[in-house]
């Protein structure tokens, strides 16, 4: 049986291990230094269907990635703390825009039955579903949308797969091995914004940039508790993610000029809190219990990429997932696993050739 080494334990690394384990691979090791990882800092929304992105490869990844969650959740016995189908609400100030959004949802549902119930929802209905909020706009409700906690989800997946996990920063050698460890038959490099750094020994230039993302966790003892509240994506404000028991997550920011800085930023903290208070004025009494900070990877065309390196065909890479990594990550992981099993797997419907983003320096 082949030995598999995975560098990077975020959503792509963890789920590639999951799909390989499901396919019968048992000798899998994940290496992760757990510093700045985008997945570990994330709390996201799985609801890609109303995106206006024109990139059809991205939409195929996002739609198919979202559709994989129910089976993963069932098989790996993922808890509601990590993933829960709560429904999502996307608001718009203009009624014409709401109707256009609803029409788009109906069209998208043809190829995305996971969306389930779709309907236009009034501001009054939204305020009943998410108590104490003050909403002035109607929106579109999609019952199949979900919320996810990146760190918790990956932790539970790893518990299920029981792969060997080493909390360590490792390096590749010039001949494509993991320094200091016995030889692996296949290596997956899923180090996100650090892919350039990881591939330096192999003499590659990688067109990926870092983006800082921050979000806040709030708790308010005076918040009315409803067991399962939908996630709210309000126009012009940060995403509002109720967790129950007075806990709410707000965010995240998109900061292009912060490099790899992982320090919480007071101005962002204040912005996110004020955004939350616009949605729920009651949160003026809330306490910020945690601020999560991570580094995303972006490409110039905002598209993820993945595949194997032609010069090192035993090495597979993935990066550029951006702020939708929790949505596209599962399908990228599944396709990487399929490529490892069968190099001839066609991934052209999901990504451009890897040479568009990585150049070998002769």
List the beta bridge partners of residue 293: 214
List the beta bridge partners of residue 140: 90, 120
Q: How far apart are CA 130 and CA 204, in angstroms?
A: 49
Residues 72-111 as b or e (16 or more Cβ within 10 Å = b): bbeebebeeebbbbbbbbbbbeeeebbeebbebbeebbee
Q: How far apart are CA 250 and CA 276, in angstroms?
A: 7
Closest residue by Cα to residue 117 from 125, 131, 104, 105: 105
- Three-class secondary structure of residue 218 per DSSP: strand
Q: How far apart are CA 106 and CA 116, in angstroms?
A: 10
Q: How far apart are CA 206 and CA 360, in angstroms?
A: 9
CB-based contacts of 299: which residues, under 8 Å, 6+ apart?
Answer: 207, 208, 209, 305, 319, 320, 322, 357
Calculated CA dihedral for residues 99, 239, 93, 224, nearest 10 degrees: 100
Q: How far apart are CA 48 and CA 105, in angstroms?
A: 10
Residue with tokens 């991205």: 58
The secondary structure of 227-287 as a DSSP string is SS--EEE-TTS--EEEEETTEEEEE---BTT-TT--S--HHHHHHHHHHHHHH-GGGGG-E
Domains annotated on the chain, with CATH: 3-40+151-208+301-360 (3.50.50.60), 88-144+213-296 (3.30.9.10)
The secondary structure of 279-315 as a DSSP string is H-GGGGG-EEEEEEEEEEEE-TTS--EEEEETTEEEE
Q: Residue 196: its pLDDT value, please?
A: 95
- Three-class secondary structure of residue 125 per DSSP: helix
Residue with tokens 């969306």: 115
Residue 262: is it exposed, middle or buried by C-beta count within 10 angstroms (0-12/13-18/19+)?
middle
Cα→Cα distances 264→209, 238, 267, 283, Å: 20, 17, 9, 20
Task: Quote the distance between the C-alpha of residue 318 and its chain's center.
Answer: 13
Closest residue by Cα to residue 61 from 316, 255, 352, 295: 352
The secondary structure of 140-153 as a DSSP string is EEETT-EEEEHHHH
Closest residue by Cα to residue 260 from 218, 295, 307, 231: 295
What's the whole-model pTM score? 0.96
Q: What is the pLDDT along the chain (362 residues), one digit of tens a residue?
A: 799 999 999 999 999 999 999 999 999 999 998 787 999 999 889 999 999 888 999 999 999 999 999 999 999 999 999 999 999 999 999 999 999 999 999 999 999 999 999 999 999 999 999 999 999 999 999 999 999 999 999 999 999 999 999 999 999 999 999 999 999 999 999 999 999 999 999 999 999 999 999 999 999 876 656 668 999 999 999 999 998 878 899 999 999 989 999 999 999 999 999 999 999 998 988 999 999 999 999 999 999 999 999 999 999 999 999 999 999 999 999 999 999 999 999 999 999 999 999 998 87
Cα radius of gyration rounded to whole Å, the chain: 20
Q: How far apart are CA 123 and CA 125, in angstroms?
A: 5
């Amino acid at each position: 049986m082949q030995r598999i080494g995975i560098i990077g334990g975020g959503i792509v690394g963890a789920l590639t291990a999951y799909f390989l384990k499901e396919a019968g691979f048992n000798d899998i090791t994940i290496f992760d230094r757990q510093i700045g990882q985008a997945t570990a800092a994330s709390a996201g929304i799985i609801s890609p269907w109303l995106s206006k992105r024109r990139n059809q490869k991205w939409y195929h990844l996002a739609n198919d990635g979202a559709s994989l969650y129910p089976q993963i959740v069932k098989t790996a016995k993922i808890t509601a703390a990590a993933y829960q189908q709560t429904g999502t609400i996307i608001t718009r100030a203009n009624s014409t825009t709401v109707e256009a959004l609803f029409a788009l949802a109906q069209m998208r549902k043809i190829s995305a039955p996971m969306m389930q119930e779709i309907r236009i929802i009034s501001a009054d209905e939204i305020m009943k579903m998410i108590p104490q909020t003050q909403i002035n706009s109607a929106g579109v409700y999609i019952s199949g949308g979900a919320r996810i906690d990146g760190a918790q989800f990956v932790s539970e997946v790893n518990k299920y797969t029981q792969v060997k996990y080493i909390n360590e920063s490792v390096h590749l050698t010039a001949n494509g091995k993991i320094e200091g460890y016995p030889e692996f038959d296949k290596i997956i490099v899923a180090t996100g914004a650090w892919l350039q750094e990881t591939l330096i020994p192999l003499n590659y230039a990688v067109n990926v940039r870092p983006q800082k993302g921050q979000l806040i966790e709030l708790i308010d003892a005076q918040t009315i508790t409803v067991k399962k509240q939908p996630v709210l994506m309000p126009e012009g404000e940060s995403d509002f993610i109720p967790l129950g028991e007075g806990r709410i997550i707000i965010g995240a920011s998109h900061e292009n000029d912060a490099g790899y800085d992982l320090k919480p930023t007071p101005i962002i903290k204040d912005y996110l809190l004020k955004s939350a208070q616009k949605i729920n004025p009651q949160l003026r009494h809330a306490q910020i219990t945690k601020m999560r900070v991570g580094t995303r990877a972006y490409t110039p065309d905002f598209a993820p990429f993945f595949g194997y390196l032609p010069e090192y065909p035993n090495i597979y890479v993935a990066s550029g997932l951006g702020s939708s990594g929790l949505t596209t990550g599962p399908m990228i992981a599944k396709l990487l696993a399929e490529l490892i099993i069968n190099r001839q797997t066609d991934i052209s419907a999901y990504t451009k050739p890897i040479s568009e983003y990585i150049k070998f320096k002769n």
